[in-house]
Amino acid sequence: MNSTSLVFPQPPPLTASCPASPGGRGGAARCRAWCRAGTMAAGGEQEGGCEHYRRGCLLRAPCCGKLYPCRLCHDGAEEHRLDRFRVAEVQCSRCRLLQKAQQRCEGCQSLFGEYYCGVCHLFDRDKKQYHCDDCGICRIGPKEDFFHCSKCNLCLSLSLRGKHKCIENVSRQDCPICLEDIHTSRVEARVLPCGHLLHKTCYEEMLKEGYRCPLCMHSALDMRRYWRQLDDEVAQTPMPTEYQNMMVEILCNDCNARSTVQFHLLGMKCTNCESYNTAQDGKCKQPAE
């Protein structure tokens, strides 16, 4: 998923399908993204596309008949969504020939994409993509490094086989932080220890503010080292006299165990798993003399 800086030659003239053309929707930035689909590398090979993909053709949207570099460009300019599976025609960005969706132009033999999926109609440079029949879409590979978890209903790294918590159809849920789709997102997903998914970028932003899953409050990373540091801080920070014998019932967000422990402002440790990711689950009470 590394981005590459490319220098593009002069874009082709605007057409009625360009979002920035008369009657089109969008501004100059969208126009530049659209027009990049008309650029070609030496030898007629595919080197154009948009901010989302590198390809040498435009998709003819089956819904409105307009030409766009990709479904994302279409969805950003129109008030409806392009169904990638119904795309039947593409236009060569070099010779402008409208033809059936395929990997090479039948007119000038230009390569539309190093990778082409005849199901998703995805054209792009080679990123070791593969089509997963169970997911129903293409994934970034290589394929041999991933497996499809039938319960979670998504492809996961082989390093997670037998080592992740399954949640049925978890990828069909939206990211709880940005509320955007995860299953078809081009952003990598992060699997939390609790089994929930976040976009990797959302996960990284979350860690700047906290450490818990926004759905179940389970610790999103290994906190054991920090818990031991907190043990030392609690031991070195005595509570005022009126609170020293105060007990409180707590619920652990990590193991779901309930316990009664001594109240402390810095944190209250679960007696079952020794996590400080706990919440008070009852009133404070003073033990009988």
Cβ neighbours of residue 181 under 8 Å, at least 6 residues apart? Answer: 174, 175
CA torsion sign for 106, 108, 113, 115 is positive
At residue 281, the pLDDT reads 83
Question: What CATH architecture is 239-285?
Answer: Single Sheet (2.20)
The whole-number average pLDDT for the span 75-91 is: 95
The whole-number average pLDDT for the span 233-239 is: 93
Confidence of residue 286 (pLDDT cuts 50, 70, 90): low
Residue 234 confidence (pLDDT) above 60: yes
**Residue whose structure tokens are 């440790």:** 269
At residue 172, the 3 state secondary structure works out as helix
Say which range, 27-31, 220-224, 249-253, has the weakest mean pLDDT: 27-31
Residues of each domain in the chain carrying CATH 3.30.40.10: 173-221
CA dist., res. 55 & res. 114, Å (int): 8
CA separation, residue 89 to residues 43, 59, 103 (Å)? 24, 6, 12
At residue 171, the 3 state secondary structure works out as helix
Q: What is the identity of the amino acid at 259? A: S
Residues of each domain in the chain carrying CATH 2.20.28.10: 239-285
Q: Does domain 173-221 have CATH number 3.30.40.10?
A: yes
Cβ neighbours of residue 115 under 8 Å, at least 6 residues apart? Answer: 122, 123, 124, 125, 126, 127, 129
Confidence of residue 16 (pLDDT cuts 50, 70, 90): very low
Residue 201 confidence (pLDDT) above 50: yes
Per residue in 146-200, pLDDT (tens digit) is 999 999 998 999 989 988 899 999 988 999 999 999 998 888 889 999 999 999 9
| Element at 226 (helix H, strand E) | helix 224-235
Task: Annotate 106-126 with three-state secondary structure.
Answer: CCCCCECCCEEECCCCEEECC
Say which range, 36-45, 55-64, 90-99, has the weakest mean pLDDT: 36-45
Per residue in 112-129, pLDDT (tens digit) is 999 999 999 999 999 999
Whether the predicted model's global pTM rises above the 0.75 cut: no
Within its chain, how far is the Cα of 12 from the centroid?
33
Are 169 and 196 within 8 A, CB to CB?
A: no
